[in-house]
A = this chain, B = another copy of it.
Amino acid sequence: MNEYLLRIKSFLERLDTDTLSALEDISKTKTYKKGEFLLRQDEVCRFNFNIEEGILRKFYLNDGKELTTEFFFTNDIAVSFGSYSLQKPSKEFIQALTDTVVSQTDFTAFQNAKINYPKLIELNLLFTEYYIMWLENRLFEFHAFDATHRYLLLIKDQPHIVQNIPLTYIASYLGVSLETLSRIRSKI
């Protein structure tokens, strides 16, 4: 998993300054307050959000309940993938869990930049592949493990989540009720 981040880092380091500054030109720094929404259901996700500081969460509203799909921390890129890449209404929300500073890049501007700076297509591919590895791993955990095991893995592999995020959201991220998560914690 981390190997992918290394690939991306190394790619960025080898990237020519023209491409890099083209990328900066189409990115804007913005701040969001705790609780604020960067994206709501049924809106089109026009930006990808590169987090400089803060924490975001992404979630579905399903049957009246919030289903947390992902948390984002500093240096993560937050985006509602399907909505962003097809520029169609989103099924997901993205919300700030703390005051947050992001550098956000407009979809159309990025598409255009890719024409003149084809290296950006490769960069796009690298991020996309990284997201696949993340998704495959998360899917495997749902497929193979029960809630206790998933929580233990969360503590081990992503302690920053357990340390910084309310149990309610962690429970919904793990796909169990808050009460069950509470009982899991009391047993370990």
Q: Which of A29-74 contact B (CB under 8 A)?
A: 60, 62-63, 67, 69
CB-based contact A143/B175 at 8 Å: yes
Looking at the assembled complex, report how far the CB atom of A24 sits from the nearest CB atom of chain B, in whole angstroms: 22
Copies in the complex: 2
Smallest CB gap from A138: residue in B: B139
A117 at the interface (CB under 8 A from B): no
Main secondary structure of the interface of A (DSSP, over half): helix
The number of residues on chain A lying at the interface, defined by a beta carbon within 8 Å of a beta carbon of chain B, is 31
A122 interface neighbour in B86, B121, B139, Cβ under 8 Å: B121
In the assembled complex, 15 residue pairs joining A and B whose CB atoms fall closer than 8 Å, in A order, are A62-B144, A82-B133, A82-B136, A85-B129, A118-B121, A121-B122, A124-B125, A125-B128, A128-B128, A128-B132, A132-B135, A135-B136, A138-B139, A139-B139, A142-B143
